[in-house]
């Protein structure tokens, strides 16, 4: 495997990030749920009210993945939390330590930002990812089930 490095995403990376999001969604059988576009990514990552951060994973042959995260706040701990929205490494580059390095890098960011935890979700059928998460010490959040409000239900509640 060739060496890899991380760099912060910069304006102009929107198309690349969108390509990786679509590749990830294809892997997760969720491509039909991708609604974002380059303009939305530009606003979220580089706009005046930055909502998320991203890094690009590169090898000698070019970009091979990305990670995107944002912060939340835990009232119980009284501290921010880093929420990992996505980590994606192109299939040909998996198994060589990139994923572990991404999580190590994000853990360093979390600690530097005063976070007391990192959170993320995983699809229940994704055994390779679940196995990887267990190998780095992550534990499922017992007793909690993710909830989501979208579309018409979100609009109706806000009305």
Residues with a catalytic annotation lie at 133
Proportion of the chain in helix, strand, coil states, percent, rounded to 5: 40, 25, 35
CB 41 within 8 A of CB 34: no
Structure token digits, residue 35: 């609604």
* Phi then psi dihedrals of residue 23, to 5 deg: -65, -45
Measured in degrees and rounded to the nearest 5, phi and psi for residue 67 equal -140, 145
**Distances in Å between the alpha carbon of 21 and those of 38, 49, 156?**
11, 21, 29
Tokens of 70: 């944002």
Whether 57 and 4 have beta carbons less than 8 Å apart is answered as: yes
Q: Are 56 and 5 in contact (CB under 8 A)?
A: no
């Amino acid at each position: 495997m060739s060496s890899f490095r991380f760099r912060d995403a910069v304006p102009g990376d929107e198309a690349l990030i969108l390509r990786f999001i679509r590749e990830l969604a294809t892997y997760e059988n969720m491509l039909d749920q991708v609604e974002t576009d380059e303009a939305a990514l530009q606003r979220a990552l580089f706009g005046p009210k930055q909502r998320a951060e991203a890094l690009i994973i590169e090898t000698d042959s070019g970009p091979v993945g990305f990670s995107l995260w944002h912060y939340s706040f835990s009232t119980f701990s009284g501290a921010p939390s880093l929420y990992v929205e996505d980590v994606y490494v192109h299939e040909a580059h998996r198994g060589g330590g990139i994923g572990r390095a991404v999580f190590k890098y994000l853990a360093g960011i979390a600690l530097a930002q005063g976070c007391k935890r990192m959170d993320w979700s995983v699809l229940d059928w994704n055994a390779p990812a679940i196995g990887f998460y267990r190998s780095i010490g992550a534990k499922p959040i017992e007793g909690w089930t993710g909830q989501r409000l979208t579309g018409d239900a979100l609009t109706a509640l806000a009305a």
